[in-house]
């Protein structure tokens, strides 16, 4: 075999060019490596939530429980796979969490920060089960989520159930990393002070209602419990339970407890609507009934997770108008033009109030200067004027300690600020009053009518309904009172 060799001048020239090229080109920085997930972590308690579908007596005891306590765990990493050791078990990202008899992994995917496993029983197994395990991670947090679906038949009885398991891991120390040192106040004088913990020792009035999920896919005969939270302005939870009712599809769905619904076993594929009410405000969530054959296909078509839930929550917010305003509730998906309308109406009410205040002051200067002070006609003091409040809608006067009008629920203002202009108007549907300048009810979209023209509906007076109560703050009133004087919410009868 002939070996071709370059002449010495050409060989030397090639060597020189290589060295010159290496010197001329800047060195490329090494690609930033993704931090390892190996190290010591803290695992939160394993939360398990069961939902039953068809489950008769032949199915045996209903499944429940399965949760585990949290604690310290050690995670090792081999390639893209993780091994978690601690809290009584060793678990890898290449398997499903539940070790169901006869179940096998049918698919697996893994990357640096994402893992997924799908496990199922064989088609010949009379106990059909399917598990989907999803793990997502950042450099300092790992989220674990597993959903399971179970279906089998015993003595002609169809037995179905679903489960969801969740857990999170928080990094304590990364393998190979130096222990972190907390800087002292002297070494970091400009560092911001730590955020104070939320103080929920004294809670306020309800300001926000969250219902999760906003949309749920169910099979006929299944039961599901929505998660509702009532929060105050600081985000502190309140021990208030909203009311639930079916307003569309009453033959498809039954409310068996606050937040818990059960689909009719004979229900056909259709939709139902639930209304969740807090005081006199409400928000809606949707429930879609799907057949067992089309359930999996509709999950993907509707963009829902494995348990048939949407990621979004239905939210009910409470805000206050700028002057003497009532509380206005708005859902997160309200169109922007309605928010603009409420803002413009509030600004108009503020301008009218300021104009009326100026007119009142000008009209009082001349008469007070002409009328001499006599023992039979004492001059009005500032305390007398400030101590009386009036409703901007019906102009009825109330003591200074009152906050809301019991007739129309509008917020009371100092009488001196009303002036002599026209009063406000009320909604013909709910009877709630608004300040002058507002023409449309922001909740029902109805055109407002003058307060004098509104005739409240007569309540059925019986021997068993003699008093009313505020569903928000719990204050009780007589049966004639329509709105709470403490928080402005609509009152309900006390049976």
Q: 236-243 — which CB contacts under 8 Å span 24+ positions? A: 236/198, 236/200, 236/203, 236/204, 237/200, 238/203, 238/206, 240/206, 240/278, 240/472, 242/209, 242/276, 242/277, 242/278, 243/276, 243/277, 243/471
Q: How confident is the model at residue 199 (pLDDT cuts 50, 70, 90)?
A: low
Q: How confident is the model at residue 492 (pLDDT cuts 50, 70, 90)?
A: confident
Is residue 203 over pLDDT 80? no
Is residue 292 over pLDDT 90? no
Q: Is the pTM of this model over 0.75?
A: no
Is residue 6 over pLDDT 70? no
Question: Domains of the chain: which residue ranges?
Answer: 39-173, 208-320, 336-365+388-494
Q: What DSSP string describes 84-119?
A: EEETTEEEETTS-SS--TTEEEEEEEE-SSEEEEEE
Beta bridge partners of 46: 68
Q: How confident is the model at residue 398 (pLDDT cuts 50, 70, 90)?
A: confident
Distance CA 41, CA 21 (A): 48
Q: How confident is the model at residue 250 (pLDDT cuts 50, 70, 90)?
A: confident
Q: How confident is the model at residue 16 (pLDDT cuts 50, 70, 90)?
A: very low
Distance CA 154, CA 140 (A): 46
User: Order of strands across the sheet with 223-225?
Assistant: 223-225, 260-263, 253-257
Give tens-digit pLDDT for 104-160: 999 999 988 899 999 999 988 988 999 999 999 998 999 999 999 999 888 888 899
Distance CA 127, CA 154 (A): 10
- Produce one character per residue of 387-399: b if its CB has 16 or more CB atoms within 10 Å, e if not: ebbbbbbbbeebe
Residue 249 structure tokens: 């599809």
Q: What is the mean pLDDT of residues 185-208?
A: 61
Is residue 249 over pLDDT 70? yes
Q: What is the mean pLDDT of residues 424-428?
A: 86
pLDDT confidence of residue 119: 95
Distance CA 86, CA 168 (A): 14
Is residue 208 over pLDDT 70? yes
Beta bridge partners of 440: 447
SS3 255: strand
Supply the mean pLDDT for the chain: 77
Give tens-digit pLDDT for 261-273: 999 888 888 889 9
- The answer to whether 425 and 365 are in contact (CB under 8 A) is no
Give tens-digit pLDDT for 42-99: 999 998 988 888 888 888 888 888 888 889 999 999 988 999 999 888 999 999 999 8
Query: What is the CB neighbour count within 10 angstroms for residue 351?
Result: 12
Is residue 191 over pLDDT 60? no
Is residue 41 over pLDDT 80? yes
Is residue 383 over pLDDT 80? no
Is residue 217 over pLDDT 50? yes
pLDDT confidence of residue 458: 59
What is the CATH code of the structural domain delimited by 208-320?
A: 2.60.40.60
Nearest to 49 by CA among 150, 125, 154, 163: 163
Q: How confident is the model at residue 196 (pLDDT cuts 50, 70, 90)?
A: low
């Amino acid at each position: 075999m002939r070996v071709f060799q370059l002449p010495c001048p050409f060989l030397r020239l090639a060597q020189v060019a290589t060295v010159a090229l290496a010197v001329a080109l800047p060195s490329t920085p090494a690609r930033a490596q993704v931090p390892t997930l190996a190290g010591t972590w803290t695992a939160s308690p394993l939360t398990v939530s069961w939902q039953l579908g068809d489950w008769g007596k032949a199915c045996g005891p209903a499944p429940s429980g399965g949760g585990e306590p949290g604690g310290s765990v050690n995670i090792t990493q081999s390639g893209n796979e993780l091994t978690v050791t601690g809290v009584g078990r060793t678990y890898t990202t290449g398997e499903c969490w539940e070790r169901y008899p006869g179940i096998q992994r049918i698919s697996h995917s893994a990357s640096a920060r994402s893992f997924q496993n799908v496990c199922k029983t064989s088609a010949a197994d009379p106990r059909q089960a399917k598990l989907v395990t999803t793990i997502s991670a950042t450099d300092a947090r790992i989220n674990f989520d597993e959903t399971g679906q179970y279906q089998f038949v015993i003595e002609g009885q169809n037995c179905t159930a679903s489960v969801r398991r969740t857990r999170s891991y928080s990094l304590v120390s990364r393998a190979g990393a130096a222990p972190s040192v907390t800087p002292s106040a002297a070494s970091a004088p400009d560092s911001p002070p730590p955020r104070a913990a939320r103080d929920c020792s004294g809670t306020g009035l309800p300001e926000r209602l969250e219902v999760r999920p906003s949309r749920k896919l169910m099979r006929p005969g299944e039961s599901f419990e929505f998660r509702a939270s009532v929060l105050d302005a600081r985000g502190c939870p309140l021990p208030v339970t909203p009311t639930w009712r079916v307003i569309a599809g009453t033959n498809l769905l039954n409310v068996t407890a606050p937040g818990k619904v059960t689909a009719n076993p004979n229900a056909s594929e259709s939709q139902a609507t639930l209304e969740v009410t807090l005081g006199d405000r409400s928000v809606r969530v949707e429930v879609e009934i799907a057949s067992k054959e089309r359930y999996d296909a509709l999950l993907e078509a509707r963009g829902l997770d494995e348990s048939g839930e949407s990621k979004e929550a239905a939210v009910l917010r409470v805000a206050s108008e700028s002057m003497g305003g009532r509380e206005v509730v708005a859902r997160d998906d309200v169109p922007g033009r309605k928010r603009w309308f409420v803002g413009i109406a509030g600004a108009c009410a503020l301008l009218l109030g300021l104009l009326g205040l100026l007119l009142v002051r000008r009209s009082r200067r001349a008469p007070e200067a002409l009328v001499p002070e006599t023992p039979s006609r004492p001059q009005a003091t500032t305390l007398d004027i400030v101590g009386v409040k009036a409703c901007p809608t019906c102009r009825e006067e109330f003591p200074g300690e009152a906050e809301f009008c019991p007739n129309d629920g509008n917020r009371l203002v100092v009488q001196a600020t009303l002036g002599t202009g026209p009063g406000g108007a009320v909604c013909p549907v709910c009877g709630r009053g608004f300040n002058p300048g507002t023409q449309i009810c922001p909740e029902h979209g109805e055109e407002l009518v003058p307060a004098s023209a509104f005739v409240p509906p007569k309540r059925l007076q019986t021997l068993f309904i003699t008093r009313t109560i505020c569903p928000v703050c719990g204050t009780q009133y007589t049966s004639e009172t329509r709105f709470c004087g403490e928080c402005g919410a609509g009152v309900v009868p006390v049976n």
